[in-house]
């Protein structure tokens, strides 16, 4: 019964998360998340689309994670890998996004994008249907090497950022403070959505029992 509650949180969370990425990309000159910097750099240099590169790296990381530790890969991980990039491209194509205007306005737009990403990330992770391909990869590496998750994340994202910078990606001040802004919002959303899921699941269980 809990899946009836978890699946909508998972799907809506992925959509919200993807929209947040698309919002941030609209003002990318201020700096975006290292993985998005890489996707944008590859799009500018080789074509395809930003979302397509997101999907390519997502699938690649899932396959690598399967080789390291398949514990961190399930159906939700594959859905995440395929859906986020597709939705980012859809929102960018739809262009139902705040437009770049002035520096102060653009900073607010980027902060909005980061907040939306934090909320969406908290939602789909609270559903516990599957971690994202990047999260699963970092967790697998962390366990394999015996390093802390934060250390692995720092190393992996630093490598991604260097490669993206060499390819001419949009690196600026917000690229370096992204995680510090997004993480507290993610944590708050995760805790809140977890409580909602448990509460709604409990209500459904009680209804089934009473029937």
Task: For 126-183, write each residue's pLDDT tens digit.
Answer: 888 877 898 888 888 888 888 777 788 888 888 988 899 899 888 888 888 887 788 8
- Per-residue pLDDT at 208: 46
pLDDT of residue 151: 80
Give yes or no for a contact between 133 and 62, defined as CB atoms under 8 angstroms apart: yes
pTM of the model: 0.87
Taking residue 54's Cβ as centre, other Cβ atoms within 10 Å add up to: 27
pLDDT in tens, 62-118: 999 999 888 888 888 999 999 999 999 999 998 788 777 788 899 999 999 999 998
Distance (Å, rounded) from C-alpha 73 to C-alpha 55? 16
Q: What is the mean pLDDT of residues 45-74?
A: 91
Domain ranges of the chain: 2-204
């Amino acid at each position: 019964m809990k899946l009836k509650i978890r699946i909508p949180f998972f799907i809506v969370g992925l959509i919200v998360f993807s929209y947040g990425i698309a919002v941030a990309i609209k003002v990318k000159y201020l700096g975006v998340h290292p993985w998005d910097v890489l996707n944008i750099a590859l799009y500018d240099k080789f074509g395809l689309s930003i979302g397509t590169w997101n999907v390519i790296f997502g699938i690649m990381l899932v396959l690598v994670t399967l080789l390291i530790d398949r514990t961190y890969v399930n159906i939700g991980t594959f859905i995440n890998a395929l859906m986020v990039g597709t939705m980012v491209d859809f929102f960018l194509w739809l262009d139902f996004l705040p437009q770049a205007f002035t520096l102060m306005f653009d900073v607010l737009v980027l902060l909005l994008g980061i907040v939306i990403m934090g909320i969406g990330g908290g939602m789909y992770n609270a559903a516990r249907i599957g971690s994202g391909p990047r999260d699963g990869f970092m967790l697998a590496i962390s366990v394999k090497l015996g390093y802390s998750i934060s250390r692995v994340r720092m190393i992996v994202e630093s490598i991604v950022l260097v490669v993206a910078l060499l390819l001419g990606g949009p690196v600026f001040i917000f690229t370096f403070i992204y995680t510090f802004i997004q993480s507290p919002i993610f944590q708050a959303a995760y805790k809140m959505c977890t409580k909602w899921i448990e509460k709604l699941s409990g209500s459904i269980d009680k209804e089934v029992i009473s029937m």
